[in-house]
A and B are shown apart, each in its own frame.
Chain A
Amino acid sequence: MTIYLPIAELPVNIFTLLALGIAVGFISGMFGVGGGFLMTPLLIFLGVPPAVAVASVSTHMAASSFSGTLTYLRRGLVDVHLGLVLLAGGLTGTLGGVLTFMVLRRYGQLDLVIAITYIALLGTIGTLMVVESLRALLREWRGEKASVARPGAHPLFLRLPFKMRFRQSHIYVSAIPVVAIGFSIGFLGALMGIGGGFILVPALIYLLRVPTLTSVATALMLTLVTMAAAIVMHAVLNQTVDAVLGLVLMVGGTIGAQFGSRAGQSMKAENLRLLLGLLVLAVGIRVAVDQTTKPADLYAVTIDESAP
């Protein structure tokens, strides 16, 4: 059964879209990531124009992250205080990212910068996560006890001034790195057309030493706020939000996210980190392969946005 998307201006199979929403929603609920880094390329593959894909995916991410956040909130896992400090940096970063996006697009090198950022970022984070979680699993397999005092628990950057206590996360750190992390996520998110949850979760775990589940829950809350803002921004600035596309993705996504967040809670933190690491690495490798193998057609046609 096909359905016509009024803003994307093309017909698509409604069941393909639903399945896509459920699958990505599951992953999004399980790991506390927005899922944009998976959904956006898949939609573009279906023929949805990139600008419409990026903008419409934000509705799906807002819905599924809201649903997930509510579940985590009830379980008392969201660190609202930490989330608000992160947001202060995050919304500023989004603005910086949008401006950079505009400059790069003018010089025709946006795609390249996005691809390189994807490869570098996903490759690094994916590898780090996989190595770290494998080590943790190995330690456990050998019967060694995980060191209670987390290694290097007080790096220099956490001892900067403006120290704040985040009770839910059991950390007492300077606000400067927290705002800086928020800023980077917002910046990269706007530039890469992603929510940034898959970067934020490891950043909270490894840099700020926030417990895994609290990281996942707080990242989900952050995704919710930034994506809600992104919907309105895209609608007003680019007029590329397809509400019909969004609705189908949302319905699938929220169903998937429910099962995902349940699956995530019943899983061991190390396993969760290993899986997310593998997923992130796989997407990074995929982008790298795409970028380094000879394309079937050396030419591509895009709509000239700068022309009158």
Chain B
Amino acid sequence: MRRAGALLLAFFALIGAARAESLILSLSKQRITITSSFTGDSIVLFGVIEPNAAPGEAMKPNDVVVTVRGPNESFVTWRKERRFGLWINVDSRSFLAAPSYLAVLSNRPPAQIADADTLRREQAGFANNRLLQRVGSDYADVVPGDPFRQAFLRVKQAQGLYVENTAGVDFIAPHVFRAVIPVPGIAPVGTYEVVVKSFVDGALAHRGMLNLEVAKVDFEQAVATAAEYHPWLYGIATMLGALAVGFIANLVFRKD
């Protein structure tokens, strides 16, 4: 792993220099396959940033913010209140098209990287990711202090689906970095978007994007496909399977 990483780095350092591209990115794996023993995985992101100084001059330090977003899904956040002695849902907010997975990794706290306006505009930093709420008939991204928004982030973080790591990007050399993206076992399948933004002197310097695929394979895929595309067949087969298990168990344990 380490050696492969080093080779990869050398490779990217070479083409980076040769083709002078602004930001070159590569993932240790482009596809996470979910098998029967899947319990989560981590993906390593390597990046090379074009040196921001002419040869011989001193380089300005780079800052990097990596944002990984899983496929969008809509969620409802409920708030409970005590009514007639029971804790019941009294209020709710819908979060529309929120990422089902969100990881924000940076080399230092985003607040130190750029000013608040820039960060908000670039959606850089955990608190700066837009979360669209339905407020009545309106749609809005409310202030970060909103209790529903905070509760939503808290619950998602507790599930391991939302991750914030302000020390998650390591600079190996002044313009070469790596970041480890944790993918938990309960990660939803689909296409994940990896967005990398580099900042120099508090201003956006480069941006790059990659896709990461989380997919079921083999047996898991077959089961999921059958359930989705042949529900009658799947249902009847599962039902007959259940009866067969019951019948076999009865035969096995039969005493008389």
Contact = CB atoms under 8 A, between A and B. Distances in A.
Interface of A: 2-4, 6-7, 9-11, 47, 59-60, 62-67, 70-71, 74, 108-109, 111-112, 115-116, 228, 231-236, 239, 241, 243-244, 246-247, 250-251, 254-255, 257-258, 291-295, 297-304, 307-308
Contacts of B185: 2, 4, 10-11
Interface in B154-198: 154-156, 185-186, 188-189
Contact of A236 (B73, B188, B231): B231
Contacts of A251: 245
Contacts of A292: 85-87
A67 B73 contact: no
A300 B90 CA distance: 12
Interface in B225-256: 227-228, 231-232, 234-236, 238-239, 241-243, 245-250, 253, 256
A299 B78 contact: yes
B154 A74 contact: no
A228 B228 contact: no
A235 B240 CA distance: 13
A250 B235 CA distance: 15
A247 B87 contact: no
B234 A297 contact: no
Interface of B: 34-40, 73-82, 85-89, 92, 94-96, 147-148, 151-152, 154-156, 185-186, 188-189, 216, 219-221, 223-224, 227-228, 231-232, 234-236, 238-239, 241-243, 245-250, 253, 256
22 contacts: A6-B221, A9-B188, A59-B239, A62-B242, A66-B247, A108-B78, A111-B88, A233-B235, A235-B227, A239-B231, A241-B227, A241-B234, A243-B227, A243-B234, A250-B246, A292-B86, A293-B87, A297-B155, A299-B155, A300-B78, A301-B77, A303-B73
Nearest to A7: B227
A4 B86 contact: no
Contacts of B96: 304, 307
B196 to A, nearest CB: 27
Nearest to B40: A11
B151 A11 contact: no
Given A59-B242, A291-B86, A292-B87, A303 B80 contact: no
A231 B242 contact: yes
A259 to B, nearest CB: 8
A295 B186 contact: no
A257 B249 contact: yes
Most chain A beta-carbon contacts within 10 A, residue among B154, B188, B243: B243
Given A10-B186, A70-B250, A307-B94, A234 B245 contact: no
Contacts of A11: 37-40, 185-186
B144 to A, nearest CB: 16
A301 B156 contact: yes
Contacts of A258: 249-250, 253
Contacts of A115: 86
Nearest to B147: A299
A301 B155 contact: yes
